[in-house]
Each structure stands twice: as C-alpha cells, then as structure tokens.
Structure 1
Amino acid sequence: MRVKIYFVTDNKSYLPEIIAYTDYLNSLCIAYQVVNSDFNFSELKEPYIKWVIMGINRGKDKNCYLIHEYLSLSTGRFAFLKNWIKILLSTKPDYQIFLNRYIKNVFYRKKTDYSLRDMGISTSFYPYKVKKEFDFVYCGSMGRNRNIRKMFELFERGILKDFTLLVIGDVPEEIKINFVGENINYLGRVDYKDVPKALCRAKCAINYIPDIYPFNLQTSTKLIEYLACHIPVISTKYSWVEEFSEKNNYPIKYIDSFLSSKEFESFINENHAFPDMSKYLWVNIIEQSQVITSVLNGFKEKFK
C-alpha cells in the first residue's frame, strides 16, 4: 500500500525537524506534504498519515493514522494547567513522539506506541575558518521568560564587562535600549544557513538557559550547534545541561564556577579538544530513534 505523510504545523514556528524529516523521506522516495491546520483532510479517500506538531488536535478520520509530536512543554503562568488542557482537548492518537522523557512523562497517553526523538543539527554546522572578532557569542531566544537581562548585565557592568559579545537573533527593544555598551554587538536575525559561519566569529559561546521549568528540562540545540562548530561553551547550570555534560566530555563550563575575568580569559583561549559530533546530525538522530520506521510499520499494521 502506498502511503503519504501530511505534516501539520501552525506555520508560525521555524521547525528544523520538519526539514530533517522531509529530507529523510526524500531519500526513501516516500510522498509527503507540509500543510496548515485548516487543510481539508475529509477530501482524502485513501489511508494516510497525519503528523501533527502539537498543540491541540481534535478529531480523527477513519482512514487516518494519527501522530502527535510534542517538541516542548507549556511555559509561563499556569503551565501545568496548559499541558493538562492540551491532553484533555486532543484526540487520542495512534502514535506519539516526544523530544525527551520529561515531555513524555507529561503528555503520554496510556497504551499508545511512541518514540523518543531528540533534536539534531544540520550538516552546515562545522568549524569555519574565519577571523575570531569577538570573545563571546549568544544566539537564540531573548524572551522575558528566559531572564536574559542577567546575561547582558554581566557584559554591561559585571564580571564580563571587559569582553566583547556578538548577539545573533531578534533582540527586544528594551534590551537594545538598556544595554548599549561598545562591547555588545547586535547582529540581528541571520538566515539559518549563515548562522554557523557567524557563530565561528567568536572564541566562545554562551548557553544561557534559566534554571526554571520547563526550560531546564529541554534540549539546548544551540549548545550542540556551538560544539559542532568547535566553539567552547560557558553555560548556566540546570538539569538538562548537567546530565548532558556528565555523559559527554565536552568543553563546557558553568558561568558561576568562574571566580575572575582572568579565568574566563584562560578558558576562551585554551586549545580545547572537540569529540566527533556526527551522532547529532539529523539523519543519525532519525535513524537512531527509528521514528520513521516505527510510524510506517504502525500505518501498515492498522490498514493491512
């Protein structure tokens, strides 16, 4: 039986996993389509796979093999209530996919087959030979709920005031207004394909994640991308990064372990060793999780 997979997204978020999935499906010559949540599935007569990035998802056609993929936990006030509502209002799927075991523990539906599929990285992340113009680089979200002001304060008047910082990404106006030191450089948003080269302009990267739920339980893709570019990392200390560091011998050091600017200077200029990061490439992450194989087998079993 021929199969077609429909990936359902809200079209608002950048989802590298969708690109990775579709690249993988292309290599297998399996048909797919990325659609919005308002796509009319009732017109489909043959059995199909509906792969929803959650959210909330209601309803399921008889000829549908339904997948719910959970990439994150709810944030902000009443986060636990938001998670519960997502479960309560969503149809029970045929299959579930979770970023990690923490997310599985929240959203798993009893007697449902599932896979754990962690974040991967693109093959474009490798050590580019460019001039090291900055001491540190930060790339990623700068929302208020991440307490990102504390990082900027380190460069404005704290222990890192004598170091330069390159900031990549959308910067809130209140950050730009309040942190105007000559040592802070705002590059703004950069095309994803150009991010690795921009990262390599710095000697060291910053993984600044608040030790609060749910951020402290979620994979830091940026940290893995930094390491793939052979950039050492200073990081806040929280559950996920502690577990990651214990399992791997990577050049990661916690910010609060530095006692002086001289220690920072020594760390960023050290000749660090970087292990092979190929296991984090998307193709290897997908194959290791066996998520595509499991989904296809589940579809065949339901419609045999």
Structure 2
Amino acid sequence: MVALSILDLARVADNTSPRMALDNARSLAGLAELCGYHRFWVAEHHNMPGIASAATSLLIAHIAAGTQTIRVGAGGIMLPNHAPLIVAEQFGTLAQLFPGRIDLGLGRAPGTDQATVRALRRTAMSAEHFPQDVLELQAYFSKEAADFSVQAVPAAGTEVPIWILGSSTYGASLAAEFGLPYAFASHFAPDQLMTALQVYRNRFRPSEHCSRPYVMVGVNIIAADTSAHAQYLSTTAKMSFTDLLRGVTRFSKPPIEDMDAYWNEAEEMRVRQMLACSVVGDREQVRVGIDALVEQTGADELMVVSDIYDFQERQRSIQLIAESMGMAPAFV
C-alpha cells in the first residue's frame, strides 16, 4: 500500500491567531501519527499572513516535541534563501533532539514575492548555486564532517535524509543525478508531473542515500462524510488560489456556496488547472481517487494537502483519508 503523508502550511484563518495556527499544526501531526501517516511536513513561505510556517525549523521542533514516532520535516526549505551551513546547523540540531525522525526537503524557488526576495538578501545568482549548495549541505551531515575545518555543529554524522522538491524537470534531473528521493509539487503545479517523473526514473543513479528511484506526489485531498460537503469545503482552497492569481495574500476564508460569485471565467480555468491533481469527496470517492492517482504515477508515497478552513473539519478529513486506505480504525 502506498504510504500517505501530510503537508501542512500552518494556515491562519480570519478567526484564528498565528499561535493557534502553530498549535493546530502540532495537534494535526498528533492525529496523523495516531492514524498511521508516515510523515508530517511544513513548508517555508514568506510575507504571507495566512501561512505561519516561515520559521520552518522552529515549527518542526514544535511539532516533533508534540509527537512520538511520525517523521517530521520540511517540504521544504528554500535553500537559496539560506547559507547551507545555517541549514545544516538547524537540522543537525533537530536530528540530535529527535533522532531518526527528521527529513529535509529542499526547494530552489524563493517561496515569496520579489520584494521579499530582496529583503531576504537573495541575489539573481542565488538559485544558480542550488546543486552546489545541496552537495555542501550533504557534506555537513556526513560522518566525515567531523574532520572539516568548518563544521555545522552538531550536524556531523546525523545523515539527515535530503529530498529534492520540484514542479518541473529541473528538480527531477537533479534528484536523479544525485541519487536522492524526489517530491513533485503537483498539489499546485501539476502540468509537468508525468514528464518529470519519467525524467527522474530514466536518469536515476543509485547512491548511498537511495538505491532506487523513490517518488512522492503532492495531492490535494479533501474528504468529508458526504460528497456535497467535501465540495463545499474545497471552496476555501479555490478562493486561496484565486487570491494568489490576483496577487493578494489573505487569511484563509470560510467556504462558500457559490464560487461563480467569487472568481471570473479566466480565474476559474487557471485555478482548476492548478488544482487538477485533487481528490474531493466522501470516503469511497477518496479511495478510488487515490488508487487512480497511484496507478497513473506509480508513486511510492503521496503527500496530502487538505486545505480546510475549520480545524475540526480538517481533522475529520485527515481521519477519513486514513480510513479510506485502511490505515486507521473508524472513530469520531
């Protein structure tokens, strides 16, 4: 059975505070652990009031401290925003505190707008050094790093697992060349999904880190007790993506009955394209949708995004998704 994991953005709604969003992420990870999910990741985004996971490594520590067994990590850290040494120090520390449970997914994009890119002190050349930065970061986690003249204390020997994240063939090629697991961001950019997976598998070179290609596919899944209610809940994500197209960053909004009153035809077409890799429905519809996606992609693991306004509804969705795959007993 395909492994299921969760990507959470610590969403701040118009009726919650950032602190509540951070604590909700921790509580959701606890539920995910109980339900049998494999990983719980959070992502680096900046200058977005509706997303509280900007200080990603700190949130990972908060979540890991509130759980026992589930793997916790970044999906991902936008590496060109940071010196590899700093990332290694942060994740080496996490690995020392929570041994065997920390993952590090790496992205090449800034995760924000251009004004914030400048505030992060990025330059036009930052992303071009991504392959070298990945190798440097790997080296800091190795056992040999204990003999380096510059060490990322206490990272040496922690061997934190590194993933390459992407939404194009660039990340797929790099992950294949370095022999690393690959996660495709089809939950918001599904256009090149199948092409990227083909590139990754065809070019993969086994390494000490990964002996065979390992693919994780991001997918929006919203489950509810009825199909109609799941469709209703999905309007929160549709509004968020519509706002993104408009260049507006807002708090998460409650679901609405009529999306046609919110978006125009061009926005609807674009949002539906961005959300094409989605499964919305009741328990049985979710199972069928997951099976179809796994058959299509051959994914080893699915990274579930369940963007739902009400936290109790989001918990219920995570529970129903697990139940649909036989991962957890039915409970309320």
User: TM-score per shorter chain, which class?
Assistant: 0.3 to 0.5
TM-score, structure 1 normalization: 0.37
Instruction: Give the structure with the larger strand fraction.
Output: 1
Structure with greater Cα Rg: 1
